[in-house]
Structure formats: structure tokens, C-alpha cells
A = this chain, B = another copy of it.
């Protein structure tokens, strides 16, 4: 990438297999917050694939505010995650929470996710810069755009140009929504940087009934991809049960998002 902060050169296109991010197409990334078991992950993957997603999300390692909460299946899940991916034929983005996880996790993910709490974890970013996998870098809870772009620089300086920025809501005084999804910043990033931009309306609202309208809004603002939490039975989810969608709700989003994308002359990435 010549320079991700200069405008006027179009977006830096990130390729993952036959998927592209930043070339005009819209990608739907979906899956569970946490991968809970082989059966749970397979059921979810098949469900979101049937509903229109072309890329999987799912956490093996989880960052949880309280040490009492479920922290992810960890390495015990590696083998079945690889099998499920192969069975459904979809790429996977999953969170890395410690530099020491990178080498093993690289065997099962197609894209590394850096969560909000780790946006300032520069050692982690630096070491991801030494990998050859794209990095989806979530914005810190209250990171300014300048800090976010400089965090991306840690990856790029490490030698890896393939950074996607993911807006997931910022912390404000308002509490009706879990976070305030900052789509104005999404539009700013599309106008002023070369990064592909992903929007997470699940964390960005924290309320199931708002995920559809905010997915449509994100497409309007110019997002290159949406990343959405889906669970076969949301009320049973081990994490983020409050904001997970079921298959039917996600399918409605996939359908309506497609209409808006087409109206704006954009295609939705398919498998």
C-alpha cells in the first residue's frame, strides 16, 4: 500500500481467496460471537451460509470484562474449526488476544481480528505485521480516528499492508444503545483513507431490533463489509446473547442489504 492515509488513489483492495474487500463489492460476514462446540459452529455456519453470508466470524479466544465469564474454547477447538470451515467452504475471521496465539491461530483463520480492547496493544499489532494474513482492526471503545490510523500503522510498518478498519460503536453518554455506532467516521474513512471499512452493527447497537436498520445505514455510509453475530438459538448463547440474531432475522438483513447495495450499483459478494 503506497500510503493508507492518502486519498485519491482508491481503496487498497484486500484479497482473501476469491473474496475482495475494497473493490466495490459488499461482503456479509456472519457467525457466532463465541464458537461453543463443533455442533454449534457447524449449525451456525450452515445457517448463515444458507441465509446469504459468504464469510464466517467466530471467536475461539474471548476477551471478557469479568474473569468469571466464559473465555472461549481456546486451542481445544482448533481441529473442529478447521473441519467446519472446509465442510461449508467459507473463510474465517477470528480474534487474536495475545501475540503468543498468532502462530497456531494462523493455521485456522483467513483473517485475524483485533478486538476493541486490543487496539492499543502495539506489541500484538507489530507481530501481526509480520504475518501474511489480513488484519481486521476494530476501533477502540473511545479511540479517535487518529489513534486508530496510527494503530493500523503498527501493522503496516511490520510489513503487512492488508488492514481493514472495523467500526463497532464508540462510548458516549447515551445508554439506550450499547454503543454509538459512528457511521460518520465510516464515511470519513471512505473519503479520506484507502482502508476497506467493515461495520459491526451487532456490537454497535447491542439490540437485535436495531441491527437491520443499522446494517442498511452502514451500506448507505459506504461500508465494504458487515460483520454480524448470529446464533441458532440466541437466548442460549454463551456470550453476547442479548445481541445475537437468529437465522431468520439474519436472512432478512441479507435480503434488504442486497436491495440497497443494488440500488447504489454495488454487488454483494457470494461464495
A191 vs B207: C-alpha distance when bound (angstroms)? 11
Distance of A260 Cα from B263 Cα, bound (Å):
6
Are A173 and B176 in touch, CB under 8 angstroms?
A: no
Which A101-158 residues have a C-beta within 8 angstroms of B?
117-118, 120-123, 126, 140-142, 144-147, 150-151, 153-154, 157
Contacting A213 at CB < 8 Å: which of B171, B173, B190, B204? B190
Could you mark each residue 154-170 of chain A with 1 if its beta carbon is under 8 Å from any beta carbon of chain B, else 0? 10010000000000011
Q: Decide if A170 touches B180 in the complex (CB within 8 Å).
A: yes
Residues from chain B with a CB closer than 8 A to the CB of A118 are 120-121
How many copies make up the complex?
4
A247 to B182, CA, bound (A): 27
**Does A153 contact B67, Cβ atoms closer than 8 Å?**
yes
Chain B residue numbers with a CB within 8 Å of A87 are none
Give every chain B residue within 8 A of A188 (Cβ-Cβ): 176-177, 207, 210
| CB of A184 closer than 8 Å to a CB of B | yes
Q: Are B184 and A177 in contact (CB under 8 A)?
A: yes
A65 touches B150 (CB 8 A): yes
Q: Determine if B209 and A216 form an interchain contact, defined as CB atoms under 8 angstroms apart.
A: no
Listed A/B pairs (10) with beta-carbon separation below 8 Å: A65-B150, A144-B176, A171-B173, A173-B173, A180-B184, A180-B185, A183-B183, A214-B220, A214-B221, A217-B220
- 4 smallest beta-carbon distances between A and B, as pairs: A216-B220, A117-B120, A142-B142, A263-B263
